Amino acid sequence: MNRKPDVDDIDRILVPTDGSECSKRAVSFAGSLARKLCSKVCVLFVAETNYTGPWFYYIVDEPVREKLKKRGEEIVESTVELLRECGAREVETYVEEGHPGEVISGMASQLNADIIVMGTHGRRGLERALMGSVAREVANTSTVPLLLVK
């Protein structure tokens, strides 16, 4: 029997962040939601260490990989501070490597997240085609409910 989703059942919120202003708005929303629902927040930064796209591909070398991970750790630390300011009590952090959309969807399942709260830049047309859309990819691949903050 399919059960209707209930907001009161949100015990674990996954918040992917890249440190952008767009992500910070989503973090603030997630922090407020976590405070009201007494939910745990899982902060995720994905260091994009490889990319395979329609026009090109790349794999970063070890020194760049380490810099990306270090930057990710700084971003999740500042994200935890923002979440605490918003009233979130319990926060876990993760810095992973890979393609962001795939990693976010995979981590949502692995962590048994009840919802993903993430920012979207709202790009359209050619800009979206050239840069892609992590939010769109997560919406298309994740089995976890997704709340987008613009």
Tally of CB atoms within 10 A around 59:
10
User: How many whole angstroms separate alpha carbon 84 and alpha carbon 130?
Assistant: 35
> Which SS3 state, helix, strand or coil, does residue 133 take?
coil
The reported pLDDT for the residue numbered 123 is 58
**Segments making up each domain of the chain, as ranges:** 10-149
Q: Are 33 and 39 in contact (CB under 8 A)?
A: yes
Cα–Cα nearest to 117, from 57, 48, 54, 31: 31
The reported pLDDT for the residue numbered 129 is 47
**What is the residue-averaged pLDDT of the chain?**
88
Categorize the per-residue pLDDT at 40 as very low, low, confident or very high, splitting at 50, 70 and 90: very high
CA distances for 36 relative to 14, 51, 66, 146, angstroms: 16, 38, 37, 18
Exposed (0-12), middle (13-18) or buried (19+): which is 38, by Cβ within 10 Å? exposed
Could you tell me the pTM of the whole model? Answer: 0.88
The reported pLDDT for the residue numbered 131 is 44
Domain 10-149 = CATH 3.40.50.620: yes
The reported pLDDT for the residue numbered 149 is 93
Tell me the per-residue pLDDT of 45-94, one tens digit each, with 9 for 90 and over.
999 987 766 666 778 889 999 999 999 999 999 999 999 999 999 999 99
